[in-house]
């Protein structure tokens, strides 16, 4: 079992930055990827960014060049640096841990952290 605890959400003006953190505890040898999802009111949950154990990253087009996912393996922590934030980035952001083969499959979810970007 893996437990995930997010932190770092909040309210920021458009153009500002936030850094989300996700601390993982426990173990599951099937886990090889960490990822962030988000869900805005009235919208479907979407995959925002993922990072494999080897450090390979992927981003949804809408955040490319503005968001950076990284990990500190020694501290079992994953980060999402969000720069040049836009009002449309407003959502609850969820940290996940899962496996990536031909597609990413999340197995564990954090409780979510609210990010609100004001215009």
What is the per-residue pLDDT across 2-19, written as a single tens digit (0 to 9) for each?
Answer: 999 999 999 999 999 999
Q: Say what the pLDDT of residue 44 is.
A: 96
Length of the chain: 119
CB atoms within 10 A of CB 38: 22
> What span, in angstroms and rounded, lies between the C-alpha atoms of 85 and 15?
5
Q: Say what the pLDDT of residue 119 is.
A: 92
pLDDT at 98 over 90: yes
Region 38-55 average pLDDT: 95
Q: Say what the pLDDT of residue 101 is.
A: 86
> What span, in angstroms and rounded, lies between the C-alpha atoms of 110 and 115?
15
Region 89-114 average pLDDT: 96
Structure tokens, 87: 């009002």
Mean pLDDT taken over the chain = 96
β-bridge mates for residue 106, sequence order: 98
């Amino acid at each position: 079992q893996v437990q995930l605890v997010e932190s770092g959400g909040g309210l920021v003006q458009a153009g500002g930055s936030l850094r989300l953190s996700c601390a993982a505890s426990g173990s599951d040898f099937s886990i090889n990827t960490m990822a962030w999802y988000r869900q805005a009111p009235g919208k479907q949950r979407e995959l925002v960014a993922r990072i494999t154990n080897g450090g390979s990253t992927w981003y949804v087009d809408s955040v490319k060049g503005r968001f950076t996912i990284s990990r500190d393996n020694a501290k079992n922590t994953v980060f999402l640096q969000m720069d040049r934030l836009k009002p449309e980035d407003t959502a609850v952001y969820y940290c996940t841990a899962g496996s990536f083969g031909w597609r990413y499959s999340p197995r564990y979810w954090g409780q979510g952290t609210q990010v609100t970007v004001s215009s």
